[in-house]
Amino acid sequence: MLFSLIIPVYNRPDEIDELLESLSQLEYKEDFEIVIIEDGSSLKCEDVAQKYDKKRSISYYYKENSGPGDSRNYGMKKAKGDYFIIFDSDCIIPKNYLTEVDKALKQKYVDCFGGPDKALDSFSDIQKAINFAMTSFLTTGGIRGGSEKIDKFQPRSFNMGLSRKAFEVSKGFGNIHPGEDPDLSIRLWELGFDTRLFPKAFVYHKRRIDWEKFSIQVNKFGKARPILNSWYPQYNKLTFFFPSLFIIGFVVGLLLSLIFNQDLLLQLYFGYFLVLFLVSTYQNKSFKIGYLSIKAVWKQFYGYGTGFLKSFFKIIILKQKPQEAFPELFFKK
């Protein structure tokens, strides 16, 4: 089959340079194409794409800004392949990636797959700490790290495969962002398609964000979840409430300590953060990253948890329309 690699980009020519450099070194022997969609950028990457065009078949398209989901749909409509693989521009792809995908599809075909993400040694300490928070089995990020049930996996669009048939039937991504990934996965299930995790098809996800941007990002993730729950209540899970309960429990622990001098709950939190520190320090071989991982996990839980609570109140309790309650989560087509 012909793979088409779909890459939306917005003002990130340096990231595209790194991504295309990694794609130029893939060991996969069959033909494949790369489709780059410039989503209304002021800092264009057309020159970067042309630099690698002699090494790989690259198509470059510029369009007005309409968000990553719509840009992926645009790229899939333009692509020639019968199977699309979607990457974020801040990814670096291992040499064996397409070989592993091809092998997995031949062993047991599926119309949609997702893969995990990892960190390279060259990543900054903050990037490694955020990667730990987003992928560790000790956090809700363990889902992204590959621990979710392998045959009922909700792929994330930084590393996702979709057949042409599934795209044409589902019409691709919706206009919510973030949240377009699980939205598409659930609609595919409803249409009779299967999704699966390919554990060996991982990417190095650089996540070029600082603490403030990370907090904003996870807060939006939290806001998006009750919206998805309202659309698809049959797929609601208790684990979606965990970050909010984590934050509420911490506040309760502080109140118990200050008012009643009861520290047991706070001691449990201290024990949890100690485990995070030790595991991250061991995995990353760095005390500094271990410390930064505590900060990353706190920001992850606090940002997601407070965003979830705010959205739950507006969407589930007050029954507000998502586009009116959180217009920042929706791109206009």
Instruction: State if pTM tops 0.85.
Output: yes
Average model confidence (pLDDT) across the chain: 93
- Contact of 134 with 141, CB cutoff 8 Å: yes
Q: pLDDT tier at 141 (50, 70, 90 boundaries)?
A: low
Quick one: pLDDT at residue 152?
A: 72
Quick one: pLDDT at residue 333?
A: 60
- Contact of 163 with 82, CB cutoff 8 Å: yes
Residue length of the chain? 333
Please give the C-alpha separations between residue 280 and each of 13, 286, 297, 299, in angstroms, as whole numbers.
Answer: 32, 8, 11, 16
Quick one: pLDDT at residue 147?
A: 47
For residues 238-259, give the mean pLDDT: 95
DSSP β-bridge partners for residue 283: none
Question: Which of helix, strand or coil describes residue 323?
Answer: helix
For residues 45-64, give the mean pLDDT: 91
pLDDT digits (tens, 9 = 90+) for 283-331: 999 999 999 999 999 999 999 999 999 999 999 999 999 999 999 999 8
DSSP β-bridge partners for residue 159: 87
